[in-house]
Amino acid sequence: MNLTLKIWRQKNANDKGKMVDYKINDVSPDMSFLEMLDVLNSGLILKGEEPVAFDHDCREGICGSCSLYINGEAHGPDRGVTTCQLHMRKFKDGDTIYIEPFRATAFPVIKDLIVDRSAFDRIQNAGGFISVNTSGNTIDANAIPINKHDADDAFSAATCIGCGACVASCKNSSAMLFVGAKVSQYALLPQGRVEAVDRVKNMVAQMDLEGFGNCTNTGACEVECPKGISLENIARMNREYLFANIKD
Amino acid sequence: MSGFFKSSIGRKYAMALSALFLMVFLLQHFAINILSVFSPDAFNEASHFMGTFWAVQFVLQPILIFGVVFHFVMGFVLEIKNNKARQKSYVKNNGNANSSWMSRNMLLTGAVVLAFLVLHFIDFWIPELNVKYIQGDMSGLLTDGEGFRYYEELVHKFENPLRVGAYVLAFVLLSLHLLHGFSSAFQSVGANNIYKKSMKGLAQVYAIGLPVGFIFIALYHHFNH
Ligand code: HEM
Ligand code: SF4
Ligand code: FES
């Protein structure tokens, strides 16, 4: 396939940046999207030009680093996949493909298509954990009976890979799907209940501090999330947050 | 609870509660208006009661005004905050791929409803205040003293096709506002059962049925007199 790529190029955080056009030929439909970019970059390097900087690590849909906004959608047109799992067969010969970084004030661009998502780490550090004494007398988690339904919901919430597609897709740049998933994965389990009040309060406070927007329930996040994290998690977080505030 | 309503989630609760209140109000408003189609007398009785009973006038009415003002001011506040959360927008964004037009344009549909409400206030409410509290006529009677004036006034208002047109347009936009808003309000207060099938149906019944009902009343009086 022969394609036209329109790619956001930005030298550094302070550069204004702009869209730049690239032609790329003989792209195999079996390539992944990132492989296609690798081919583009090899060509640029041979020509002595600066390659396009983009984030990636595992290339198998588990690390969440491949953050591209492709043709107006986070991780491109396919559903339930990250950019590294997106294949070129989802496009047609002659297509023009827009490739932009995830946009949110809380996710500033570092270079080209790479954004700084450490805001997510700070939210996680504010409460996305349980405090367990690991000094030799830890109880096996499997020794605690848990309702299957709750266990399944907690597990689904825990599959969030922190990619930020929810923020990127949301018209308000709201992080509520991510935070809702992180709050839920603990809120549903007895181990997580112990610190539930502080957790939801601290994580929401950090989320607000980072400058993410307010959820208006458009549901764009749920559709674009590569892990299918459900809006139910936002509703659960809202309940948790209300009750936590009533409690203290 | 300190700081609850300053948080993003607290604001969502506040927005949703004001919206839920407005939806209950709208239902009550409809219940009275539809009487005008079936029985002018019943409509007159109900209007006179609502217009003169102290608890409605001095307790519920101020709460309603506060609710409306709070709702749209909060709507604008949230819009400004949300725009700040993304200062640089996408060159290409495909919103249709993942969300409904209604959900992305709540401020637009809401603003049209607001414009209508201003018109509605000038049309019905200010003359009402004038008669009752400035001229001091609390009788609710026609100037010739022959029966209540409410039904006559309603029929008279809907004679003007321009007014009927504005009315229809406003309710179409209200319907779009509610097609997203109804279920959104429940999701905001944490009641996500709304996404289950039966509740989705209820959302559509309310969001389409009620505005269509209001439009029907306007057209009925326009063409029937
Ligand atoms: C006065 C003009 C109005 C304006 C400017 C306005 C604006 C808005 C905006 C911007 C939102 C989205 C905010 C958000 O979801 O966070 C919203 C939500 C909503 N509005 Fe309105 N609105 C108006 C009137 C009304 C009326 C008259 C009703 C109902 C009778 C109504 C019902 C709702 C509902 C149910 C929601 C969803 C609440 C939620 O998601 O939590 N609105 N409105
Ligand atoms: S909720 Fe989904 S889209 Fe958001 S960070 Fe987690 S995996 Fe990514
Ligand atoms: S590179 Fe790890 S999820 Fe795509």
Q: What distance in Å separates the CA atoms of residue B168 and residue B187, rounded to the nearest whole number? A: 29
In this predicted structure, the answer to whether residue B194 has a pLDDT above a threshold of 60 is no
**Shortest-distance Cα residue to atom 6 of ligand 2:** A160
Query: Would you tell me which residues 74-113 of chain B have a C-beta closer than 8 angstroms to some C-beta of chain A?
Result: 78, 81-82, 84-95, 97-100, 103-104, 106
Using pLDDT thresholds of 50, 70 and 90, give the confidence band for residue B193: low
Mutate to test the interface with B, among A5, A16, A171 (most CBs of B within 10 A): A171
Which pTM does this prediction carry? 0.94
In this predicted structure, the answer to whether residue B143 has a pLDDT above a threshold of 80 is no
Residue B91 in any domain: the answer is no
**To which residue do tokens 């948790």 refer?**
A240
Q: What is the DSSP string of B146-189?
A: SSBSHHHHHHHHTT-HHHHHHHHHHHHHHHHHHHHHHHHHHHHT
- pLDDT tens, position by position, A149-196: 999 999 999 999 999 999 999 999 999 999 999 999 999 999 999 999
| Helix axes B8-38 and B61-84, enclosed angle (nearest 10) | 140
Q: Which residues constitute the domain of residue B140? A: 8-85+98-224
Q: Bridge partners of A23?
A: A4
Domains of chain A: residue spans and CATH = 3-111 (3.10.20.30), 118-247 (1.10.1060.10)
Looking at residue B180, what DSSP letter applies? H
Give me the CATH number covering residue B111. 1.20.1300
Q: What distance in Å separates the CA atoms of residue B140 and residue A72, rounded to the nearest whole number? A: 59
The predicted structure's pLDDT at residue B139: 80
CA of B74 to the centre of ligand 1 (A): 9
What is the length of chain A?
A: 248
Give how many domains chain B has, as a whole number. Answer: 1
- pLDDT tens, position by position, A192-241: 999 999 999 999 999 999 999 999 999 999 999 999 999 999 999 999 99
Amino acid identity at A227: K
Least confident of A108-112, B54-58, B139-143: B139-143
Antiparallel, parallel or unpaired: β A68-70 and A96-101: antiparallel
Residue B2 in any domain: the answer is no
- Note whether B140 and B149 are within 8 A (CB): yes
Residue B1 in any domain: the answer is no
